[in-house]
Structure 1
Amino acid sequence: MREPAPAKLNLALHVRERRADGYHALETLFAFVDQGDVVSVAPGDGLSLALTGPFACDLGSGDDNLVLRAARLLQSQAGIAKGAALTLDKRLPVASGIGGGSADAAATLRLLDRFWGLDLGIEGLMPIAAALGSDVPACLLGRTAIGTGRGEHLVPIANDLAGTPVLIANPGVALSTAAVFAQWDGVDRGALAAGEVSDIIAHGRNDLTTPAQELTRDINRLLDALIGSGASFARMSGSGATCFALYESDVLRDRASRAMSQDHPHYWTMACRLT
């Protein structure tokens, strides 16, 4: 069995305040694309994890890997001793603001729910997802949604931009989420707008862009390149350093992708679509 772990985009990300528990209160618009990592499973004694893919070398397969943590937590919560030989095809860069690890954990929960015949479904898996990280519930749901709290309280919404061509790019820089949040200036710049997805992003922002830019100027160069590539819209996702751009057509997106590869050969790019 296999399960896709699509990349997550924060089409808008508003940081409202720092909470008493140390987390930040967020309002964010989650969306997903049609490409990402893939988790697969086969029968096995105990739990094991093999890594493949272009970014496998950036991850460890030890006990702290989110795939294994998700598998162990599900195994414990379900009260079972069944094993699984898991493989993660790591196609997304690590620590890049597009939910790679969270998406992998969520895909693992969905996959093992089927493989082990637990039949918990998304609702039954949601408390386990919330215990694994703030973005894991959104990645478990896997559809466009407004996230509040730490991002774990979700309200699904229709995506009027579904099918839009997207180019995702990373300048080859890994950023620590904690380090980016530590640079946030603490100013509440207001709530997400109401309306359709297109309205929300048009009036939205990513409040972590400036803090991330203080840690690496590569984000400025990447956003400038995307904006100058014929995109109708460009923004940083999550805590960076990955940015994304929306295009009016596949032709414009693919032309931008080729230009990016020629002008910035060390950048990672992925051409995809919003779902």
Structure 2
Amino acid sequence: MKPLTRVAPAKVNLFLHLTGRRPDGYHLIDSLFVFTEGGDRVYLQDGLVFSFTLDGRFAGALKNAGGAGDGNLMVRAARLLARETNRDLTVHMRLDKKLPVAAGLGGGSSDAATLLTALSDWWGLDMDPERLAALALSLGADVPACLSPHPQRVAGIGEICTPVRLDMPSHIMLVNPGVPLATPDVFRAYRHSDRAFSAVLEDVPVWDMDRIARDTVNGLTEAALACLPSIADMLDILAALNGARLARLSGSGPTCFVLFDSAEAAAVAAADLGRKYPGWWLWPDRLRLDRGA
């Protein structure tokens, strides 16, 4: 078959409210997910047996975190789909890891979800969307939302995904301080803070910048700062950038995002920050603001 290439975008939480905690320890969320146009790249091609290659800027970091071979969530997704559909996994997969690891961008979840949809197309499967979503959830809480990388209101532990309309700038810059931050550590700090859970926000026809900035927060920000205090300085720097509309932590961090009205403003900001903070990872991009199929 013809080789197939897909982009596994970064997931960005425009807001993230924690609304409760289940008896099994999973936190319930109310969040607005958006996705970038760029991201990691997933490649598929025919093979005599199954094989997996990991390369790219952050391949080494992913290997050090246990994400090589069978420890990679994308590999687990491939084996799961093959087993559930009785397919021979005779394919070579390659992951070009462009996004940082343990960064609050859902990179592993996006890689796995992209693999599930790509491999389904590769094999010509016509899976029921609910069945595919159930397989995705078995791999991780963020994986179901990443199956359809378009704006979504996400609830439950991540399995309740509702498309939403946005009226806001699409130009974004992601900024990572070059230090990983493990999600379990941030949630542990959150639990120790005794912070009260948030109420679920009402549904609105369209989410715009004013509403997001006024009525929402990232409820994990204080916990992330407790784990990595330098995030506070980074957020202050981003908020003060010329043309910045909104600067926030994404997910559990440490990556932050800043929204701009134009690609030019994002590019100028990235060039300026690159000179001043050479250790930071900077990713100017655009958001996928359409609602998808």
Q: Does TM-score exceed 0.5, indicating one fold?
A: yes
Map 1:234-273 onto structure 2 (within 5 A): 234-273=247-286
SS in 2 for 1:226: helix
Taking only the aligned residue pairs, the percentage that are identical comes to 41
Cα deviations by residue, 1:213-250 (Å, 9 ceiling, x for unpaired): 00112211211111011211111000000000001222
Is the 1:28–1:192 contact (alpha carbons within 8 Å) kept by the matching residues of 2? no
TM-score normalised over the length of structure 2: 0.90
- The residue type equivalent to 2:227 in the other structure is L
- Is 1:227 the equivalent of 2:256? no
- Unpaired segments ≥5 residues, structure 2: 289-293
Is the 2:79–2:89 contact (alpha carbons within 8 Å) kept by the matching residues of 1? no
| Distance in 1, Cα, partners of 2:127 & 2:246 | 39
- Is 1:82 the equivalent of 2:94? no
SS in 2 for 1:141: coil
Deviates more, 1:54-63 or 1:135-144: 54-63
Distance change in 2, residues 1:168/1:121 (3 Å):
farther
1:142 corresponds to: 149
| Distance in 2, Cα, partners of 1:270 & 1:143 | 19
- Is 1:93 the equivalent of 2:104? no
Cα deviations by residue, 1:171-205 (Å, 9 ceiling, x for unpaired): 01111111101111341133335422225522110
- Is 1:191 the equivalent of 2:203? no
Map 1:1-275 onto structure 2 (within 5 A): 1-60=4-63, 61-120=68-127, 122-161=129-168, 164-184=170-190, 185=193, 186-195=195-204, 196-198=206-208, 200-202=211-213, 203-230=215-242, 231-275=244-288
| Distance in 2, Cα, partners of 1:259 & 1:114 | 42
Root-mean-square deviation (CA, aligned residues, Å) is 1.4
Find runs of 4+ consecutive structure 1 residues off by over 3 angstroms: 121-124
- The residue type equivalent to 1:187 in the other structure is A
Is the 2:58–2:100 contact (alpha carbons within 8 Å) kept by the matching residues of 1? yes
Cα deviations by residue, 1:48-103 (Å, 9 ceiling, x for unpaired): 21012111111232211011000001011112223210000100000100111000
Is the 1:122–1:140 contact (alpha carbons within 8 Å) kept by the matching residues of 2? no
Across the two proteins, how many residue pairs are aligned to each other?
Answer: 274
| Distance in 2, Cα, partners of 1:19 & 1:129 | 20
TM-score normalised over the length of structure 1: 0.95
| Distance in 2, Cα, partners of 1:177 & 1:8 | 14
SS in 2 for 1:76: helix
| Distance in 2, Cα, partners of 1:80 & 1:223 | 47
